Amino acid sequence: QVQLVESGGGLVQPGGSLRLSCVASGSIFSLYDMGWYRQAPGKQRELVATITSDGSTNYVDFVKGRFTISRDNAKTTMYLQMNSLKPEDTAVYCCNANRVNRRGSRYDYWGQGTQVTVSS
């Protein structure tokens, strides 16, 4: 029901900033909860931040105070503003959309990911 495409990744120096975007299509964007995840080589995928359909946000400790998640329902786009980047932030960042239907079933959709590399 939802197709997701991330963009905005790239190479940045430690302490620098990047803004990731995730554009959704194929369904009613405003009904979905959204999130950013990341996966470094050889590691498991981990949660970065979430934003619900009504705009409530949550962050994991290792990005709190540095990253900001937001969404623009009119543009069907979710963003991740990343500041004060560290080499440990290097990973493929993936967009997630999910919802629970009236029967209680959860559906998850994923983007292809965008590479973020933090290096001098």
CB 120 within 8 A of CB 13: yes
Q: What is the mean pLDDT of each run of 10 residues along the chain (120 residues)?
A: 94 98 90 96 96 96 96 95 98 96 93 97
Q: Provide the pLDDT for residue 28.
A: 82
DSSP state letter for 26: S
Q: Write a three-state SS string for 48-60.
A: EEEECCCCCEEEC
Q: Provide the pLDDT for residue 29.
A: 87
Q: Provide the pLDDT for residue 87.
A: 97
Q: Provide the pLDDT for residue 38.
A: 98
User: How far is Cα of residue 11 from the mean position of the Cα atoms in its chain?
Assistant: 17
